[in-house]
Each structure stands twice: as C-alpha cells, then as structure tokens.
A = this chain, B = another copy of it.
Amino acid sequence: MPGKPQRVIILGGGFAGVYAASYLARHARRRADLEVILVNRENYFVFQPLLPEVVSGNIGILDTVSPIHRLIRGAQLYVRDVQSIDLVLKTIALSPGFQPRETILSYDHLVLALGTVTDFRGSPGLFEHAFPFKNLADALRLRNHLIHVLEEANITDDPQHRRELLTFVVAGGGFSGVEVAAEVNDFVRHACRHYRHILPSEVQVTLIHSGERVLERELSVRLGEYAQRILKRRGVELLLKSRLHSASPGCAVLTDGRRIATKTLVSTVPSSPHPLLETLDLPKQRGRILATASLLVEGSDHVWAAGDCALIPSPSDDQFAPPTAQHAVREAKTLAHNLVATIDRQPLRSFDFTGLGKMGALGSRCAVAELAGGFKLSGILAWFMWRSVYWWKLPGLDRKLRVGISWALDLLLPPDLVQLKMGASKGISQMYYPSGEEVIHQGDLGDALYIILSGAVEVVVARPGGEEIVGRMGAGEFFGELALLRQCPRTASVRCTEPTTLLAIPKSDFQALATSLPQLGQDVQRIASTRRIDTRQN
C-alpha cells in the first residue's frame, strides 16, 4: 500500500542536524516511503572545532566547511531561515527567497536541532560593537578586521589611537574563548612582523574570564593551570574574576568599571537556545527542550530533539549530555535509528554515549586533552592528537585532503595577510556608548547623523581657554546634522553623560532620505538652524 511518504523535516545544520539528515538520507535513498528535508540558513556545514584556525589562516577559508548537499545525498536542502513552527498544524514557515513570499512545508516528523545562538541581550553595546564567534562569517569578519586594524596601526602616529588599534580583547574562558584568544594572539604577533611600523611590544591580547581559572569547568586543575601558563607565556594577558559589562565602538567596559580601549572585542560567552524555541509549547528547562533517552521530545511521538538545543539524559549520571560535537553526532545517530523504527513500528533504542574526553587547542603546536579514562595530555603531543582526531573526523575525503595540504603549506609559506572587503556598507545602525565617551569629536569629518534612543549627551565646544558646554540633549533628539547639511567638519564634540543608545544614520542614507522626503530634510534643517543660533547665544 504505497501511500504518501512520511516527511521528516530537520531544522538546523550543525552537527546534530546534518548528521541526523545524513543518517536518515541513507534510509531515504533505499525506501520510497520516507522523505527527508533539512532546513538551514547556510548551504554548508561548519566543522566548528577548526573554526578558530580560520582566524589565524592556518587553514584556508573554505577548508572548515562542507557543502551540505554532498553530506545528505538523498535528502532535500532548503537554504532558508525558519520563521515559525506550527506544532498543531504540523507545518513550518520559511523566510522568503528572492520573492517576498512565505514557503510553508508540512511534516510528519519534526527534528529540532537548532543549536544555540549568540545572545548579547543584557550586555549593552555587545550586539553592536563586539564580534561574535559562532559561524564561518564571524571567523572571516574577525580575520579581516584584525588585518584592517594592523593596516591602520601601521600608518597611524597618534599613540592613543595606536593603543586601541593594537589591543585585542576576548571575553570568555571556555574552550571557545581560549582557542580564539590563542589564535588571535598567534596571528597578530606573527603578522605584525610584516608591518614596518608596528612593534611586537605594542600588541596586547587580553582574555577576560569570570572564573578563577580558565577552562575550570572543562578541565582538571592541573591542565587548566597548564593552559594558563602557556597563554601567559605567549603574551595573552588574563583578566580573571572579571566580567564584561558593555561595549562601545572604542572600548570594552568591565562590571567593576574598568575600561579597556580597544577596536577589537570578541565575545564568546553568552549563548542561549534558538529564539524560535521560546515560541513552542514544549517541555523545556532553561530554554532547552527536554527530550527522552530515545530523543523524542517528552510527551510527543513525532517531535524529536538533538544537539545543543536539547536536554538529553546522560547515561552515566543523573545529569544531561553535554553540548559537544561528539555527543551531537551520537544523538543524531540514535535519533535517526529511532525515527525510522517509529515508522516501522519497531522498538526504540536509548542514547547511551558517555563521551570520549575533552580537548582544546592553545595556539601553535600546543593543546590540552583529558580522555575518558582520566588520561591527561598536554603540549605538542596533545596538539598532535588534537589535529589527528579532528582531521579524522572531518567529513569527506576532499576536506581531509584540503585541510592536510593547508596545514602543510602553512609550515612553508608566510601568512596571507589579505583583507577581504565584501563591501558591506553599514547602513542605519544602532550604537551604544557608556557614560563619558565621546560620540563625535570637534573638527572631525561629518559622516553620520545620530538620533538619541535613550540616555543623554552634552555638546561641548573647545574654545581657547578651555571647553564650554553649549547644550544638552536627551531621548528623541538628534545631533550631528550640521556637518552633513553644510559639508563642514564637526563644529562641536558630543559626549555622553549617561549610558546612551543611538541610531546612526550614515551621511549617504541621510542625504538620500532628505532628498526624497523633502519634509524630513526641511524638519532637520529647521531644527538645525535654531540650534545654530542657540550655539552662538551660549
């Protein structure tokens, strides 16, 4: 009785989603009653463990990623965002493609493998001014930015500006933060030798961690301390028991009020389950979905969950399985088996993987590892194991070949200091400044108009004999229009008197809007003209 095939939709293209799709696709290639669809924002799968190496350029830009099509042959890939999920109607809605139309897909089985997202809520300015480090675009953006600040430092004399350009701050002392800090440190210290006007001693790399020791949750005391010694010896400054409070375009602000002037802040800390999960009426704990050992969502017979967005009982203790790649892959395997078993009305298996150990890289030729039997390893031996294991785990022979060649070339060739600008103009964007920071500086070029969303600023004019405060502004008011309207340098400085959120409208956008919406242009002009008189009267 060949009926309609059972359609499985998998949401998310991380380890859990892609491996689940891959295992299920093997079944789908053999049987006509199973249709598998994977939905992911990108058409490639990122091999996360090697992502930090993209920053340092040890491996090529595309070496860490694999086209998903090739990994899930027999399944269908939708390269779209998921807009919404309707658990009652059993449908999902996808974001538009080239045409502004929604795509609705119905499912018989749904697999939630949406992972976590970088979540900067609660830390003002981080979303706007910090670099997240989660996917390939993040890694590339960070690498390009690092080269950009080196280029600028190489031609800048102003010592204060040089300091913020050559200071690099990474927040988060877990594996991700430690690996990024190590790679950034390696890269910048290595690269700056190729710039004539940058002294290695000017480079400062700082790792901020809230705990007493880096990797304290991940590794034993001995290995954690070893990692710290290595980082310090290589020039990474550790700020322990410190927490990032907020970020502005020019500095990182700690909770104790300290400010570090920097143009490069990478934050690896806050990650939370995908926001889409919040909308779903499913059993959850701290935002993550509660699943059974068979990978079904608790209380459901057709909604499944795996990977970092799910809480799955660990077979070894009464905790949950940790959010690592090795667990996600095994969860995906059990899930695929059980899903097919459900269709075939066969008994289900329980997830029973206890983990093989933990590893983290510390930059060039050094790593730490703690294996399942309590076996500990550090230094070049751990690094060799780290590379071997991940190289072996890379999906596909072609990736293995490419990464192998890149590693070999990296030993032979100088670093590829190419800054790849993709012409991403910033457009209208939000900005955050802590109290006391300057938004615009008298005499600078006018490049944007600012609208105050919250907070307060004062307008300061430098005069012979000291500066004078000529005005104050608050939420709903705007500034910076004079330099745009009159094509002249900034006539005053503007400084925040409390933490302030702004909407910055770049010059080109403002001019396009003011020309096409004359009313807006006239309003701004009118306010500007009153303001000019105010300034004189003050």
Contact = CB atoms under 8 A, between A and B. Distances in A.
Interface of A: 41-44, 60-62, 65-67, 69-70, 76-79, 96-103, 136-137, 140-141, 147-149, 151-152, 154-156, 161, 165, 194-197, 263, 398, 401-402, 405, 409, 412-414, 416-428, 430, 440-441, 443-447, 451, 453, 476, 478, 503, 505, 509, 512-513, 516-520, 523
Given A428-B427, A428-B509, A43 B151 contact: yes
Contacts of A148: 79
Contact of A419 (B79, B100, B419, B446): B79
Contacts of A418: 43-44, 62, 65-67
Contact of A516 (B44, B61, B413, B451): B451
Contacts of A154: 76-77
B516 A512 contact: no
Nearest to A79: B151
Contacts of A42: 419, 421
Contact of A44 (B62, B197, B419, B523): B419
A424 B424 CA distance: 5
16 contacts: A42-B421, A43-B417, A60-B60, A61-B61, A65-B418, A70-B417, A76-B154, A77-B151, A96-B447, A100-B446, A140-B420, A402-B409, A422-B424, A478-B517, A505-B513, A509-B509
A286 to B, nearest CB: 28
Given A62-B420, A100-B447, 6 more contacts: A41-B421, A79-B148, A79-B151, A423-B424, A451-B516, A478-B517
A141 B67 CA distance: 17
Nearest to A443: B101
Nearest to A141: B422
A413 to B, nearest CB: 4
A209 to B, nearest CB: 27
A7 to B, nearest CB: 14
Nearest to A398: B413
A402 B402 CA distance: 11
B101 A69 contact: no
Given A79-B151, A413-B401, A422-B141, A512 B503 contact: yes
A512 B502 CA distance: 11
Contacts of A476: 516, 518
Nearest to A57: B62
Contacts of A513: 428, 503, 505, 513
B196 A76 contact: yes
B424 A69 contact: no
A422 B98 contact: no
Contact of A100 (B428, B445, B478): B445
A233 B61 CA distance: 35
A60 B440 CA distance: 41
A44 to B, nearest CB: 4
Contacts of A402: 409, 413
A27 to B, nearest CB: 17
A407 to B, nearest CB: 13
A520 B520 contact: yes
Nearest to A149: B98
B67 A416 contact: yes
A446 B102 CA distance: 11
A154 B80 CA distance: 12
A425 B427 contact: yes
Nearest to A448: B100
A509 B510 CA distance: 12
Nearest to A164: B98
A298 to B, nearest CB: 32
A417 B66 CA distance: 8
User: Which of A155, A161, A409 is the most central at the interface, judged by chain B CB atoms within 10 Å of its CB?
Assistant: A155
Contacts of A197: 76
Contacts of A428: 427-428, 509, 512-513
Nearest to A416: B62
A453 B515 CA distance: 9
B161 A99 contact: yes
